[in-house]
């Protein structure tokens, strides 16, 4: 019980401190509709890679690079270390679950996706992914990226390195790498509740392509997508 109070207390404190009151109010609304399903607001972000990308300087002890398939076990594990915020986790994993995550990460690399890491010495302290071609379904609908377009996703910074703008450094590095490989456009997606992701995206040159509201019925993969502003493709198939 005490540990639950500590866990939710620290989540609340972080929400107020880093996300702001609007996000907190949205979280409350989501909680109210939660018996019926989940309500999500997403911003689809777009970056024109034909323009200059400003890559901010990394902290001196940090190296940014692409990861190798044989490093996936240590890369995937950083999200589950003992110091990481458990309340933030999408799921917990046992050894078999961890092996499955590593296998998935390797298979993503086998089809050409790139994992970019920031390392402090031999410690991996951040990972992000650049994905190409066909992505896993979003709300049970397949996603096919057009030629020379890519998707930046799944950023994670270990807790002790948060607040040092590694997310900006790695994201800008990834966009520069995509540009070098001939890609002309990058997408990213930020849940409205992830204010830090939206701020990072703005700083490295993304703009909002569109905003959507998603209602996912309880226990279902699919959902209703309403386009609030701009364009929802290629990630979402909106009702309008
Ligand atoms: C989102 C995430 C990758 C940001 O990583 P980061 O390297 O700390 O990025 P930044 O240093 O730019 O910090 C981002 C924001 O986090 C907040 N922040 C700063 N210090 C923090 C800390 N110690 N703990 C939590 N958040 C902190 C700040 O609001 C900061 O935003 P600002 O500088 O624009 O005000 C990281 O918080 C994370 O791994 N979160 C869990 C996974 C996740 O939600 N990923 C997003 C996928 S789209």
Per-residue confidence of the chain (240 residues) as pLDDT tens digits?
A: 677 777 777 777 777 777 777 788 888 888 888 888 889 899 999 999 999 998 999 999 999 999 999 999 999 999 998 889 877 766 678 888 999 999 999 999 999 999 999 999 999 999 999 999 999 888 888 899 999 999 999 999 999 999 999 999 999 999 999 999 999 999 999 988 888 888 889 999 999 999 999 998 888 888 899 999 999 999 998 877
Closest residue (by CA) to atom 10 of ligand 1? 165
List Cβ neighbours of 229 (8 Å cut-off, separation of 6 or more): 208, 210, 211
For residue 201, which phi and psi values (nearest 5 degrees)?
Answer: -60, -45
For the whole model, what pTM was predicted?
0.87
**Tokens 């109070």 correspond to what residue?**
5
Ligand 1 pocket, 155 CB below 6 A?
yes
Closest residue (by CA) to atom 25 of ligand 1? 162
To test the pocket of ligand 1, the residue of 170, 171, 196, 197 to mutate (highest count of ligand atoms within 8 Å of its CB) is 196
Ligand 1 centre to CA of 97 (Å) is 26
Ligand 1 atom with least separation from CA of 18: 29
Ligand 1 pocket, 156 CB below 6 A?
yes
CA separation for the pair 116, 67 (Å, rounded):
6
Ligand 1 atom with least separation from CA of 126: 7
Strand ordering across the sheet containing 207-217: 62-66, 114-120, 123-132, 149-157, 185-191, 37-48, 207-217, 224-230
User: Which pLDDT does position 1 carry in this prediction?
Assistant: 65
Strand, coil or helix: what is 137? strand
Closest residue (by CA) to atom 33 of ligand 1? 163
User: Which pLDDT does position 164 carry in this prediction?
Assistant: 95
Q: For the chain, which domains are there? A: 21-230 (3.40.630.30)
Task: Find the length of the chain.
Answer: 240
Ligand 1 centre to CA of 194 (Å) is 9
Ligand 1 pocket, 168 CB below 6 A?
yes
Ligand 1 pocket, 128 CB below 6 A?
no
Ligand 1 pocket, 23 CB below 6 A?
no
Contact yes or no for 223/216 (Cβ under 8 A): yes
Ligand 1 centre to CA of 24 (Å) is 16
For residue 104, which phi and psi values (nearest 5 degrees)?
Answer: -65, -45
CA separation for the pair 110, 177 (Å, rounded):
18
Q: What is the CA radius of gyration of the chain?
A: 18
Which whole-number Å values give the CA distances from 137 to 18, 98, 112, 221, 236, in the listed order? 30, 22, 17, 10, 10
**Tokens 């499955």 correspond to what residue?**
100
Ligand 1 centre to CA of 162 (Å) is 6
């Amino acid at each position: 019980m005490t540990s639950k109070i500590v866990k939710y207390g620290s989540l609340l404190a972080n929400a107020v401190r880093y996300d702001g009151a609007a996000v907190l109010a949205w979280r409350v609304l989501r909680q109210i509709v939660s018996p019926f399903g989940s309500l999500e607001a997403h911003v689809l972000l777009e970056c024109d890679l034909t323009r200059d990308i400003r890559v901010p300087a990394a902290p001196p002890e940090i190296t940014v690079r692409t990861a190798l398939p044989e490093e996936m076990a240590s890369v995937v594990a950083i999200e589950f270390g003992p110091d990481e915020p458990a309340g933030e986790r999408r799921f917990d994993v046992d050894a078999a679950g961890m092996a499955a995550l590593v296998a998935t990460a390797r298979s993503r690399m086998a089809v050409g996706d790139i994992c970019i890491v920031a390392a402090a010495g031999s410690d991996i302290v951040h990972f992000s992914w650049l994905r190409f071609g066909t992505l896993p379904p979003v709300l049970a609908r397949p996603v096919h990226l057009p030629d020379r377009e890519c998707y930046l996703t799944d950023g994670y910074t270990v807790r002790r390195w948060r607040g040092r703008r590694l997310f900006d450094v790695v994201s800008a590095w990834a966009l520069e790498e995509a540009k070098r490989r001939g890609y002309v456009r990058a997408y990213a997606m930020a849940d409205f509740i992830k204010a830090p992701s939206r701020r990072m995206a703005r700083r490295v040159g993304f703009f909002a392509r569109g905003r959507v509201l998603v209602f996912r019925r309880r226990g279902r993969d699919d959902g209703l997508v309403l386009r609030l502003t701009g364009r929802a493709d290629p990630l979402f198939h909106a009702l309008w």
